[in-house]
């Protein structure tokens, strides 16, 4: 196979990502018949079937799936070439999406976004609050703040620092229940649970706390809601120390229980090397998080 047509490759990539010819045609600014001809042409050129029609949708065949990541890599390289050719790769402007856990997105990232806005007003940061690991390879985000090291070699990762988390309760709660210091003091005290189906109970027991399901006064799946329940006096909860220190009306409890240490990773895709705006945001977050 020689001299693959780039327009045909774009047609394949857009159709694979959009899931239908009509959506892909709108994305590329083409008519649907034109796009359909390009998809058919690349299939003929390569001698393979890339899609199967499922109603109005276009489903990738196993061969199409095998070729998709290669097509994405070519698309990324072509975009980087275009950026370099036009000089846009050096322009500090545009949207950069940043994914973080809901607690980080709500409490840690906003001050950093404000500082970045003052420094580079041409950059618009989109904050994505998600406890799932955003798929940077599929460009669901440009940058992700994670607490685990990514395994994909295609990603660029930097360990920013080790952070800590401890147990906290509201000042009003402490007035009623006293100030528990040791792990043994936790027995019989109310805790705010982190989701009924989660491993939070095992997490507490792993840290030496003699608690059972009966200790939970309430549950919240997401950290922001859980932290609000702690502040409302519903019980003891764990929180990142950076966040707790800026929260009025809460105090550290179970002081004798050692802090939980966890890493803070900053992760991006390969466009970090070619897009100045992504590099600017990446470095600003690295400095702020450190």
Question: Average pLDDT over the chain, rounded to whole?
Answer: 88
Predicted local distance difference test score (pLDDT) of residue 84 = 60
Residue carrying structure tokens 């580079």: 120
Lowest mean pLDDT among 12-21, 128-137, 187-196: 128-137
User: Going along the chain, which residue ranges are E strands?
Assistant: 51-54, 57-60, 94-100, 123-129, 143-146, 156-170, 191-193, 216-219, 237-240, 250-253, 260-268
Phi, psi of 139 (to 5 degrees): 60, 35
Phi, psi of 249 (to 5 degrees): 85, 10
Predicted local distance difference test score (pLDDT) of residue 186 = 93
**DSSP letter assigned to residue 106:** I
Query: Residue 89 above 60 pLDDT?
Result: no
CATH topology of domain 89-153+266-289: D-Maltodextrin-Binding Protein; domain 2 (3.40.190)
Q: Is 258 left (phi over 0), alpha (psi -120 to 50) or beta?
A: beta
- CATH number corresponding to 163-262: 3.40.190.10
Every domain of the chain and the residues it spans: 6-86, 89-153+266-289, 163-262
> Which residue in 151, 127, 117 sits closest to 137, CA to CA?
151
CATH topology of domain 6-86: Arc Repressor Mutant, subunit A (1.10.10)
User: Rounded distance, CA 219 to CA 204, Å?
Assistant: 14
Separation of CA 221 from chain center: 17
Query: Residue 3 above 70 pLDDT?
Result: no
User: Rounded distance, CA 213 to CA 224, Å?
Assistant: 21
Predicted local distance difference test score (pLDDT) of residue 216 = 95
> Using one digit for the tens of pLDDT, what is the confidence trace for 104-153?
999 999 999 999 999 889 999 999 998 776 667 667 789 999 998 888 87
**CATH topology agreement for domains 6-86 and 89-153+266-289:** no
DSSP 209-259: ----GGGEEEE-SSHHHHHHHHHTTS-BEEEEHHHHHT-TTEEEE-TTSPP
Q: Beta-carbon neighbour count of residue 114 at 10 Å?
A: 11
Which among 1-15, 22-36, 69-83, 167-181 has the top mean pLDDT? Answer: 167-181
């Amino acid at each position: 196979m020689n001299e693959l047509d780039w327009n045909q490759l774009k047609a394949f990539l857009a159709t694979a990502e959009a899931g239908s010819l009509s959506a892909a045609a709108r994305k590329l600014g083409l008519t649907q018949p034109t796009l359909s001809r390009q998809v058919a042409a690349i299939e003929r050129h390569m001698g393979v079937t890339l899609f199967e029609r499922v109603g109005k949708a276009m489903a990738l065949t196993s061969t199409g799936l095998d070729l998709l990541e290669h097509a994405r890599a070519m698309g990324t390289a072509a975009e980087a070439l275009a950026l370099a050719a036009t000089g846009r790769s050096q322009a500090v402007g545009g949207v950069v999406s940043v994914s973080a856990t809901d607690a980080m997105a709500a409490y840690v990232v906003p001050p950093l976004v404000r500082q970045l806005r003052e420094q580079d007003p041409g950059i618009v940061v989109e904050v994505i609050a998600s406890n799932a690991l955003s798929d940077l390879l599929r460009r669901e985000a440009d940058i992700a703040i994670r607490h685990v090291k990514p395994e994909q070699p295609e990603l660029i990762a930097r360990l920013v620092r080790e952070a800590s988390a401890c147990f906290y309760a509201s000042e009003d709660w402490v007035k009623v229940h006293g100030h528990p210091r040791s792990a043994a003091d936790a027995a019989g005290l109310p805790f705010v649970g982190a989701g009924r189906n989660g491993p939070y109970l095992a997490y507490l027991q792993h840290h030496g706390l003699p608690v059972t399901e009966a200790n939970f006064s309430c549950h919240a799946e997401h950290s922001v809601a859980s932290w609000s329940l702690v502040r409302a006096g519903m019980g003891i909860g764990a929180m990142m120390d950076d966040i707790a220190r800026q929260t009025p009306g809460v105090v550290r409890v179970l002081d004798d229980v050692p802090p939980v240490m966890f890493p803070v990773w900053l992760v991006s895709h390969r466009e970090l090397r070619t897009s100045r705006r992504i590099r600017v945001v990446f470095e600003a977050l690295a400095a702020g998080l450190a």
